[in-house]
C-alpha cells in the first residue's frame, strides 16, 4: 500500500513538473517576428573586444540587429548595457538605431526552459572556475555561503542548546528570560544587519552574526520545550538512582528531548539558509546571494534563475539531512 502511494506521488510530482515546464515554454516562446540578428565577422568582433566591449553585450546587441558601425559607437561610450538601459536605451544616447532594432521582440527577455537548461548544464559542468574577483563558478560562491551558514549556525547551536536546557529544567530561569525571548524572537533577521554593520564594522562578520541571531530562537525555544516536556517519571527514576544533575541531563533528558531539539535545529537551518541569501545581497562581495543580485544588475536572467534553482536545491538537501537525523533519534514510548 505504501509503495503504491509513493509511486502515485512520484508520478504526480513529475506531471506537475512537466506541466509547469510546458506552461513556461509557451509563455516565453516568441514567434520569429522580431528584429533579425546581425552576424559579425571575427575581425569585427575582435575590434569591439579591443574597445573593451563585453562579449555578452556584443551578442545581445547584434542579436537585436544593431550593425557593426553602431556597435562601434556603443563601444566608444565605455558604458555597460545596464547603464545604457538606465539612461533610456541606445537612441537616448544619440546613436541612430531603427525603431525595430532598439529593443528585443516582446517577451523574449525572459529566458525559456531550454536556455535555463543550457546555462544549468554549463554551470554544473564547471562550477569551480575563477576568471576574476567578480567572476567565479557557482560552486565557489555556494561554498562561501555555506561556510558563513556553518559558522553562524554552529555558534548559535553552542548557545541555544545549553541555554534551552537551563530554561527547560528551571522554571525560575524560564520566567526570567521568557520576556526577552518573546521581544527579540519576532524581530526580522535583516533588521539586525544595520546594527551589525555599524557595531561590528565588517560585512563578513555581520553576515555571520545575522545567521547566529536568526538561528538562535527556534533552537532555543524547541530545546526548552523538549526538555520541559520530558516525563517526570523518567527524571524521578534518575533521582532514585542518585544521578547527578549533569548525568541526568545527558543520559535521560537529552535522549528524550532529542527529537524536539532536532526539529528546532531543522527549522533553524532553513531560516539560516534563507537569510544568508538576503544578507549577501545587501553586503555584496561573495556568496550565492550576491550572485543573484549581480546577475540581475547585469540583466543576465538565465544565470540568475540558475542561481535561484541551486539555492533551492541546496536548501532541500540541508532539510533532508536534518529530516534523516530527526528520524534517527525518534523513539516510541
User: Quick one: angle between helices 55-63 and 68-76, nearest 10?
Assistant: 140
Ordered domains of the chain (ranges, CATH): 30-107 (no CATH), 135-329 (1.10.3720.10)
If DSSP codes are grouped into helix, strand and coil, which group holds residue 324? helix
Contact call for residues 45 and 58 (beta carbons, < 8 A): yes
pLDDT on residue 320: 93
The Cα-based distances of 25 to 29, 107, 117, 131 in angstroms read: 6, 11, 12, 32
Residue in 149, 125, 114, 133 with CA at minimum distance from that of residue 28? 114
pLDDT on residue 25: 82
Residue in 145, 102, 104, 95 with CA at minimum distance from that of residue 299? 104
Residue 18 in grid coordinates? 512537466
pLDDT on residue 30: 60
Question: What span, in angstroms and rounded, lies between the C-alpha atoms of 277 and 311?
Answer: 8
Q: Angle at CA 292, nearest 5°, toward 287 and 294?
A: 90
Q: Count CB-CB contacts under 10 A for residue 81.
A: 18
Interior/surface letters 134-161, b for 16+ CB within 10 angstroms, e for the rest: eebbbebbbbbbbebbebbbebbbeebb
Residue 113 in grid coordinates? 526552459
Strand partners, 136: 130
Please state the pTM of the whole predicted model.
0.72
Residue 129 in grid coordinates? 572556475
Radius of gyration of the chain (CA): 27
Report the C-alpha dihedral over residues 76, 78, 81, 85, rounded to 10 degrees: -80
pLDDT on residue 103: 47
Residue 180 in grid coordinates? 526577552
Q: List per-residue pLDDT tens for the chain, 333 residues long.
A: 656 677 888 888 899 989 988 888 888 766 554 445 667 778 888 888 888 888 887 777 777 677 777 778 777 877 777 777 766 677 666 666 555 444 444 445 688 888 888 888 988 888 888 877 777 888 899 999 999 999 999 999 999 999 998 898 888 988 898 889 899 888 888 888 888 888 888 888 888 999 999 999 999 999 999 888 877 777 667 677 767 777 777 777 778 888 899 999 999 999 999 998 888 888 777 888 888 888 888 778 888 999 999 999 999 999 999 999 988 887 666
Question: What span, in angstroms and rounded, lies between the C-alpha atoms of 248 and 240?
Answer: 11
Contact call for residues 136 and 129 (beta carbons, < 8 A): yes
Question: What span, in angstroms and rounded, lies between the C-alpha atoms of 307 and 322?
Answer: 23
Where do runs of H (alpha helix) occur along 137-253? 138-169, 171-184, 192-200, 203-228, 232-240, 245-248
Residue whose C-alpha cell reads 540558475 in the numeric block: 306
Amino acid at each position: 500500500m505504501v509503495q503504491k502511494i509513493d509511486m502515485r506521488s512520484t508520478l504526480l510530482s513529475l506531471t506537475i513538473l512537466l506541466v509547469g515546464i510546458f506552461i513556461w515554454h509557451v509563455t516565453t516562446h516568441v514567434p520569429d517576428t522580431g528584429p533579425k540578428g546581425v552576424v559579425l565577422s571575427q575581425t569585427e568582433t575582435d575590434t569591439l573586444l579591443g574597445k573593451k566591449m563585453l562579449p555578452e553585450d556584443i551578442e545581445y546587441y547584434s542579436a537585436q540587429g544593431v550593425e557593426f558601425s553602431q556597435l562601434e559607437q556603443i563601444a566608444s561610450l565605455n558604458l555597460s548595457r545596464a547603464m545604457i538601459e538606465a539612461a533610456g536605451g541606445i537612441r537616448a544616447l544619440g546613436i541612430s538605431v531603427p525603431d525595430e532594432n532598439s529593443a528585443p521582440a516582446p517577451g523574449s527577455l525572459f529566458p525559456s526552459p531550454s536556455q535555463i537548461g543550457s546555462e544549468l548544464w554549463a554551470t554544473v559542468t564547471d562550477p569551480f572556475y575563477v576568471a576574476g574577483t567578480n567572476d567565479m563558478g557557482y560552486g565557489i560562491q555556494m561554498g562561501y555561503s555555506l561556510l558563513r551558514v556553518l559558522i553562524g549556525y554552529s555558534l548559535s547551536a553552542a548557545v541555544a542548546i545549553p541555554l534551552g536546557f537551563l530554561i527547560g529544567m528551571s522554571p525560575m530561569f524560564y520566567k526570567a528570560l521568557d520576556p526577552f525571548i518573546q521581544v527579540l524572537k519576532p524581530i526580522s533577521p535583516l533588521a539586525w544587519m544595520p546594527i551589525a554593520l555599524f557595531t561590528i564594522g565588517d560585512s563578513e562578520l555581520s553576515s555571520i552574526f545575522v545567521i547566529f541571531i536568526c538561528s538562535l530562537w527556534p533552537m532555543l525555544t524547541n530545546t526548552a520545550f523538549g526538555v520541559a516536556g520530558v516525563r517526570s517519571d523518567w527524571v524521578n527514576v534518575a533521582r532514585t538512582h542518585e544521578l547527578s544533575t549533569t548525568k541526568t541531563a545527558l543520559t535521560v533528558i537529552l535522549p528524550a528531548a532529542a527529537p524536539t531539539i532536532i526539529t528546532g535545529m531543522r527549522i533553524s537551518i532553513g531560516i539560516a539558509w534563507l537569510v544568508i541569501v538576503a544578507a549577501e545581497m545587501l553586503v555584496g562581495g561573495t556568496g550565492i546571494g550576491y550572485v543573484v543580485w549581480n546577475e540581475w544588475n547585469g540583466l543576465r536572467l538565465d544565470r540568475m534563475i540558475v542561481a535561484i534553482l541551486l539555492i533551492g536545491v541546496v536548501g532541500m538537501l540541508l532539510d533532508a539531512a536534518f529530516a534523516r537525523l530527526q528520524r534517527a533519534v525518534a523513539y516510541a514510548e
